[in-house]
């Protein structure tokens, strides 16, 4: 919003008392603009503030004060979307209002009376499942049950610790960090926990082992 001082001749805006009045009016207009924007946002559930969301919850007879604002919005959306005949498409819409990600509905064989709700690419906290369960119980027929499946991808980093490893034979030579040493010519086996065993000797040596080790693999 443009300042009022830009709307009048500069010679007037530079007068002390007029400048003070204009600054006070500018602050009032900024506050009015912010409150107007907030009122407009409160007309949509996706943007309603935590101070006004209770109005929607009272209308729909919902009490979710212990949930986050995002989950409370999801509960309201699911309530509105659950009005009418329940179809797989409508269930997708209700579930998506909580997770914020892609949702698929898998129907089982005819007569099984069960469906699977599949959440894909979900980045939200899984606590939304509790709120979803309450919403589904209100709209789903009593004879129909459901299973929830959450699909996600994650990366796991493994940092081996430096330990003492017992090698029951004399070792010599070196190997590069990240390369598994070749024990095949010495009658030894490298197990999942990086412990090498043999019955030929009882010598103990220390090694710092680093690299990628596949589970259930042998050297």
pLDDT digits (tens, 9 = 90+) for 64-101: 666 777 777 777 776 766 555 667 777 787 777 777 67
pLDDT number for residue 40 = 81
Residue 178 reports pLDDT greater than 50? no
Mean pLDDT of 107-125: 74
Q: Under a CB-based contact definition with an 8 Å cutoff, are residues 96 and 124 in contact?
A: no
The better pLDDT of the pair 63, 122 is held by 63
State how far the Cα of 188 lies from the Cα of 197, in Å rounded to an integer: 6
State how far the Cα of 160 lies from the Cα of 211, in Å rounded to an integer: 9
End-to-end CA distance of the chain: 71
What's 162's DSSP letter? P
What residue numbers bound the domain in which 19 lies?
9-41
Three-state secondary structure call for residue 92: helix
Closest CA relative to residue 139, chosen from 99, 102, 68, 90? 90
pTM of the model: 0.36
User: Would you say residue 48 lies in a domain?
Assistant: no
pLDDT at 46 over 50: yes
- Answer whether residue 85 is part of any domain: yes
Domain co-membership, 69 together with 143: yes
* Counted domains in the chain: 3
- Helix 88-99 vs helix 69-81: angle between axes, to the nearest 10 degrees? 170
Mark whether 172 and 188 lie in a shared domain. Answer: yes
- The answer to whether the beta carbons of residues 60 and 76 sit under 8 Å apart is yes
In the chain, what percentage of residues exceed pLDDT 90? Answer: 0
Q: What tokens appear for 82 in the block? A: 């659950």
């Amino acid at each position: 919003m443009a300042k009022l001082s830009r709307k009048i001749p500069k010679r007037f805006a530079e007068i002390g008392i007029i400048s003070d009045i204009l600054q006070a009016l500018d602050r009032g207009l900024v506050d009015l603009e912010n409150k107007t924007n907030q009122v407009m946002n409160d007309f949509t559930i996706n943007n309603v503030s935590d101070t006004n969301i209770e109005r929607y919850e009272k209308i729909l007879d919902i009490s979710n004060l212990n949930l986050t604002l995002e989950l409370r919005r999801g509960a309201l959306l699911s309530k509105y979307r659950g009005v009418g005949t329940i179809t797989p498409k409508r269930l997708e819409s209700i579930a998506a209002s909580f997770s914020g990600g892609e949702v698929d509905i898998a129907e089982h064989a005819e007569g099984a009376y069960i469906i699977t709700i599949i959440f894909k690419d979900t980045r939200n906290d899984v606590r939304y499942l509790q709120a979803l369960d309450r919403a589904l119980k209100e709209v789903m027929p009593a004879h129909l049950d459901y299973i929830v499946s959450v699909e996600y991808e994650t990366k796991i980093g493994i940092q081996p610790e430096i330990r003492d490893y017992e090698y029951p034979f004399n070792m010599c030579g070196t190997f590069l960090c990240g390369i598994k040493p070749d024990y095949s010519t010495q009658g030894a086996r490298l197990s999942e926990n990086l412990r090498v065993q043999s019955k030929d000797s009882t010598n103990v040596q220390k090694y710092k082992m680093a690299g990628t080790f596949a589970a259930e693999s042998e050297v």
